[in-house]
Chain A
Amino acid sequence: MPKVKVPRKSTPIDMTAMCDVAFLLLSFFILTTKFKPSEALAVVTPNSVSSKVAPEKDAVLITIDKDGKVYFSVSDDNVAEKQTIIEEVSKARNLGLTPNEVKGFTRSSSYVGVPFNQLKGYLALNQDQVKTVKQPGIPVLDSTNNELIDWVRAAVTAFQGHTMDLLVKGDNNSKYPSFQAVINAFKKNEQFKFQMITNPENVPAGTELYRKNMSRAPGETSTE
């Protein structure tokens, strides 16, 4: 005798709507994502409670890596300023850079981490060679020959008339003297305002800033 078949009822759900939603969100995220350009300098930045997004335009970036080496770069949107900076530096230090070497600085995502006496040779390298070369960093620790002062001065001259954001991006493990030397280079050029790039962090609960934020936004509830 055959078994009595229990009619198995499946509940077919119409997935079309869900699929629509999924791909709508997907397209949204694809469009809003801005991929980080692969950075040649691996720097782990510290955390801070600051919620201000770091500027990307008109930015002069000083990077301090984990060994305390200092690098100088300018945001890619400011090609004209980059040109002026490198020409100023060339003039101030009598480097006599050729137009081809100037191009080595003005191309996108370029950065400099060599002393002035090696700059000419460094800028002559092409994009692939730059990645493999080991840079000693801009000499800053010697207070009589802080070469970053010249770089910052050139940047200030180039950005004259419109806003410039000085950014410092330091590695967690870099020692304080490099940072201090960078600050000194700013001070020497009368630049008393700068920003430090950090990763966002939640404000610890129960602190004064936390209470202040809460009182400013009474509708928001604690996430704890």
Chain B
Amino acid sequence: MAEMDTSGGGGHKKGPGVKKGKKLSTRVDLTPMVDLGFLLITFFIFTTTMSQPTAMRLFLPKDTDKPEEQNKAKESGALTLLLGKNDVVYYYEGILAPDASNFKTSNFKEIRDIILRKKRSTDPKDFVVVIKPDEESTYKNSVDMLDEMTINDVKRYAMVDIAPVEFELIKKTQGS
């Protein structure tokens, strides 16, 4: 009873007891096979794209104690970005004022505008970005900031250790 007559009812009935010469069709329904094929394809597509790490190049400056060998950057064209705890970015333009009046707080979303604004307002050959990650910042912060340099097409940038004065300022800003 569970069988269905798929012959379409086209065949004429023979008498009872006479076996029907069944014509076996060689057609196979390929739909499940196609389903399976595409399922596997999706699986392989996902696994291939996941496992392709890229690499970011970074060139380090040579440490030198001799002042004449150091690259001098014009102070006014410098933008110093300090990376602090909890993805906070502190920054100042030019050199740090003694009363720290130009020390400002920002974050990773707004920093792009700040970099771009500084970039437009300074002479390209004087423009330099100094990145100073502090002890509390994560590796991701550093990479994100270096990436930001690529995104904003900053030609000259350097990663420098933080100065004690700046570290104190970050501490103070965090405390307040």
CB of A198 within 8 Å of the partner chain: yes
B161 near A195 with CB under 8 A, answer: no
Inter-chain residue pair count (beta carbon < 8 A): 167
CB of B176 within 8 Å of the partner chain: no
A19 near B30 with CB under 8 A, answer: yes
A172 near B138 with CB under 8 A, answer: yes
B141 near A176 with CB under 8 A, answer: yes
Number of interface residues of A (CB under 8 A): 59
Do A170 and B143 contact each other (CB < 8 Å), given the known contacts A50-B54, A180-B161?
yes
Question: For chain A, what secondary structure do more than half of its interface residues adopt (helix, strand, loop), or is it mixed?
Answer: mixed
Q: Which residues of chain A have C-beta atoms less than 8 A from B150's C-beta?
A: 48-50, 209
Which residue on B lies nearest to A191, using beta carbons?
Answer: B60
Q: Which residues of chain A have C-beta atoms less than 8 A from B41's C-beta?
A: 22, 25-26, 29
Q: How far is the CA of A46 from the CA of B151 in the complex (A)?
A: 15
- Shortest distance from the beta carbon of A30 to any chain B beta carbon, whole Å: 6
Which stretch, A31-39, A82-90, A147-155, touches the partner chain B? A31-39
Q: How far is the CA of A29 from the CA of B34 in the complex (A)?
A: 16
- Shortest distance from the beta carbon of A185 to any chain B beta carbon, whole Å: 11
Q: How far is the CA of A33 from the CA of B27 in the complex (A)?
A: 34
Contact partner of B58 (CB less than 8 A), chosen from A52, A64, A196, is A196
Contact partner of B37 (CB less than 8 A), chosen from A22, A48, A201, is A22
Contact partner of A199 (CB less than 8 A), chosen from B44, B45, B53, B112, is B53
A54 near B54 with CB under 8 A, answer: yes
Q: How far is the CA of A199 from the CA of B116 in the complex (A)?
A: 25
Q: How far is the CA of A188 from the CA of B61 in the complex (A)?
A: 12
Which residue on B lies nearest to A197, using beta carbons?
Answer: B53
CB of B153 within 8 Å of the partner chain: yes
Do A174 and B139 contact each other (CB < 8 Å), given the known contacts A50-B55, A198-B53, A200-B54?
yes
6 further interface pairs, Cβ-Cβ under 8 Å (given A15-B30, A197-B55): A18-B30, A46-B143, A167-B55, A172-B140, A187-B60, A208-B153
Complex A-B, nearest 7 residue pairs according to Cβ-Cβ distance, in ascending order: A22-B37, A15-B30, A29-B44, A170-B139, A54-B55, A195-B55, A208-B153
A-B contact pairs, 14 of them (CB 8 A): A22-B33, A22-B41, A25-B37, A36-B50, A52-B56, A53-B53, A54-B53, A172-B138, A173-B140, A175-B139, A179-B142, A186-B60, A194-B60, A207-B151
